[in-house]
């Protein structure tokens, strides 16, 4: 396949790719080969993909072609190339470095351990190519680590992709794959979706199983798996495969969602609560200007836009600190668990000083401290529920600042100051944490560009009202399509 044909394939979304394969216009093997060439050509300057398994991918693609030749109907994702995140994105025989931790460079996932995204995509006959980059244990909103380095932003490679699913989002924005797997404990689906100009969908808590063992009742925030994609319909089709009830997940809910049907949902008359600062965050004026313009898409689609009454019940700094201690319990668990096996995750600078500092702080927490954090989460939940009682959806900035410059030491961080106010550089610039505390669904969709860099708009729904979030996201895409923006990463220099 020549370069022109590969470029054409790179412009297709997942659903169209599967349609073309099913229709015989192109084979799954040809699509897979083209994606592997794109990785070879484009990834060195991007740092999005950290592991590739071409032999297995081509074998899986050939199996798709053989099944289609027998007349089998494999569905709307068959033959679509995709990636899974190298952070709890387990697939047997593949690496598991927990986000580029040098001490785990040789760790391989054993048989029987499979995460939801690769399981669901294999069941859908998609083709798993490899793994995408992530920060160590996902404990920051950017993607960088000591083993693989930063994932660069496809719109400006001097800047970061966001995290922790930054490799997945960058690969999608860059046209390497049309959809990729992501996970989210504080915004890790939506943060890189915002900075890379793609769609990131975080479902309601309990719709995609999370079954960690031995501790199925971890102390952290709600943790989600979901897709990053160029189109809302790809997100909906992928969610239709990820969504399932699993009794082994104590939060799993037997709720039915018509994900694909929601794409055509009419949002006429819906009340949209616009919160330009999510009730208390400082916001870069350039981000605010893009959001003020983008929110008019809802009016154009027939919805009613009003001011949201949501206000943070505590300062944004307290929100960030509460998240750091909540998710930090998982970091401490990994540190201690690997130490018992004789592995020091901090060896070779595998964990930053700031991460280790938080680990020490969390170990020193009292029962009263843990209880106080849960009170803060409850206050945030109550504030969110009160605001949601007045509107159907709440809209605001996915992130409060533009993509940051990459560091050269594996320790890129987010902004420490926005609009003259100090913010926590790990997560304090990410209002996305609010839904990890509350369990509500949300999507980050492209809102536009500021200084040539993507800005995301966060659409938050009531819990289990995911169909409304999908319908609203699809309506924004119809009214203000963003596909033309991908000409920017498509034309970036590869040297």
Question: How far, in Å, CA of 129 to CA of 93, rounded?
Answer: 13
Please give the pLDDT value at position 219.
67
Type and span of the H or E element at 65 = helix 54-69
Active site residues: 85, 164, 188
pLDDT digits (tens, 9 = 90+) for 137-163: 999 999 999 999 999 999 999 999 999
Element (H, E) at 274: strand 271-274
Burial level of 305, CB count in 10 A (0-12/13-18/19+)?
Answer: middle
pLDDT (tens digit, 9 = 90+) per residue, 50-70?
999 999 999 999 999 999 999
Give the C-alpha separation, 190 to 443, whole Å: 7
Tokens 């919805």, residue located: 303
Diameter over CA atoms, the chain: 63
Q: Is the pLDDT of residue 253 over 80?
A: yes
Domain limits of the chain? 3-490
pLDDT at 453: 98
Alpha carbon distance, N-terminus to C-terminus of the chain:
22
Neighbours of 247 (CB within 10 A): 9
pLDDT tens-digit series, residues 418-432: 999 999 999 999 999
Going by pLDDT thresholds of 50, 70 and 90, the confidence category of residue 2 is confident
Tokens representing 255 are: 């709720």
Q: What whole-number distance in Å separates Cα of residue 422 and Cα of residue 431? A: 15
Sign for the CA dihedral angle at 439, 441, 445, 447 comes to negative
pLDDT > 90: what percent of the chain? 95
Average of pLDDT values for 33-56?
Answer: 98
The pLDDT of residue 4 is 80
Cα–Cα nearest to 180, from 225, 114, 244, 146: 225
Residue written as token pair 């484009």: 42
Across the strands, what pairs with 93? none
**290-340 pLDDT, tens digit each:** 999 999 999 999 999 999 999 999 999 999 999 999 999 989 999 999 999
So what's the pLDDT on residue 215? 83
Q: Mean pLDDT, to the nearest integer, of 468-478? A: 98
Contacting residues for 436 by C-beta, under 8 A, at least 6 apart: 184, 185, 186, 187, 221, 222, 223, 224, 323
Task: Name the pairing type of β-strands 421-422 and 417-418.
Answer: antiparallel
The dihedrals phi and psi of 68, each to the nearest 5 degrees, come to -65, -35
pLDDT band at 213 (very low <50, low <70, confident <90, very high): confident
Mean pLDDT throughout 219-238? 94
Superfamily holding 3-490: Amidase signature (AS) domain (3.90.1300.10)
pLDDT digits (tens, 9 = 90+) for 364-421: 999 999 999 999 999 999 999 999 999 999 999 999 999 999 999 999 999 999 999 9
- Condensed to tens digits (0 to 9), the pLDDT of residues 5-28 reads 888 989 999 999 999 999 999 999
With a cut of 80, say whether residue 108 has pLDDT above it: yes
Would you say 127 and 80 are in contact if contact means Cβ atoms under 8 Å apart?
Answer: yes
Report the mean per-residue pLDDT for the chain.
Answer: 97
Exposed, middle or buried, 2 (CB in 10 Å: 0-12/13-18/19+)?
Answer: exposed
Q: Which residues on neighbouring strands pair with residue 395, listed in sequence order? A: 274, 459
Q: What local confidence, expressed as pLDDT, does residue 235 receive?
A: 98
Q: Tell me how far apart the alpha carbons of residues 375 and 363 are, in angstroms, rounded to a whole number.
A: 19
Q: Tokens in use for 157?
A: 């490679």
């Amino acid at each position: 396949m020549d370069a022109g044909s590969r470029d054409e394939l790179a412009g297709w979304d997942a659903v169209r790719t599967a349609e073309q394969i099913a229709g015989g216009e192109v084979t799954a093997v040809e699509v897979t080969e083209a994606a592997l060439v794109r990785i070879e050509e484009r990834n060195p300057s991007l740092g999005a993909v950290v592991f590739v398994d071409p032999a297995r991918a081509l074998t899986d693609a050939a199996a798709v072609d053989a099944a289609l030749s027998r007349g089998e109907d494999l569905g709307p994702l068959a033959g679509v190339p995709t990636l899974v995140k190298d952070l709890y994105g387990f697939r047997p025989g593949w690496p598991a470095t927990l986000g580029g931790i040098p001490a785990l460079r040789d760790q391989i996932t054993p048989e029987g351990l499979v995460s939801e995204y690769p399981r669901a995509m294999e069941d859908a006959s998609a083709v798993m190519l490899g793994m995408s980059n992530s920060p160590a244990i996902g404990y920051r909103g950017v993607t960088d680590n000591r083993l693989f380095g930063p994932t660069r932003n496809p719109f400006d490679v001097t800047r970061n992709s966001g995290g922790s699913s930054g490799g997945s989002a960058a690969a999608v924005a860059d046209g390497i794959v049309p959809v990729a797997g992501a996970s989210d404990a504080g915004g890790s689906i939506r943060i890189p979706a915002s900075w890379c100009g793609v769609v990131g969908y975080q479902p309601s808590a309990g719709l995609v199983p999370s079954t960690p063992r031995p501790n199925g009742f971890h102390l952290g925030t709600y943790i989600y798996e979901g897709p990053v994609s160029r189109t809302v319909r790809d997100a909906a089709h992928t969610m239709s495969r990820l969504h399932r009830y699993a009794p082994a997940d104590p939060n799993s809910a037997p709720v039915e969602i018509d994900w694909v049907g929601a794409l055509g949902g009419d949002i006429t008359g819906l009340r949209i609560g616009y919160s330009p600062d999510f009730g208390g965050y400082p916001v870069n004026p350039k981000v605010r200007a893009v959001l003020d313009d983008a929110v008019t898409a809802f009016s154009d689609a027939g919805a009613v836009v009003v001011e949201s009454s949501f206000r943070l019940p505590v300062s944004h700094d307290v929100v960030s600190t509460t998240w750091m201690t909540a998710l930090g319990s998982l970091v401490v668990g990994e540190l201690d668990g690997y130490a018992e096996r004789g592995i020091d995750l901090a060896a070779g600078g595998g964990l930053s000083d700031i991460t280790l500092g938080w680990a020490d702080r969390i170990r020193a927490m009292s029962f009263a401290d843990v209880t106080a954090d849960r009170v803060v989460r409850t206050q945030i939940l109550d504030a969110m529920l009160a605001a949601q009682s007045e509107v159907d959806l709440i809209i605001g900035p996915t992130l409060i600042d533009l993509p940051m410059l990459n560091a050269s030491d594996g320790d890129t961080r987010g902004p420490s100051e926005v609009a003259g106010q100090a913010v926590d550089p790990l997560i304090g610039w990410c209002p996305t944490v609010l839904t990890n505390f509350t369990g509500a669904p949300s999507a980050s969709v492209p809102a536009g560009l500021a200084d040539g860099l993507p800005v995301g708009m966060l659409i938050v729904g009531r819990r289990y009202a995911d169909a409304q979030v999908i319908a609203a996201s699809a309506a924004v895409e119809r009214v203000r399509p963003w596909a033309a923006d991908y000409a920017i990463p498509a034309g970036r220099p590869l040297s």
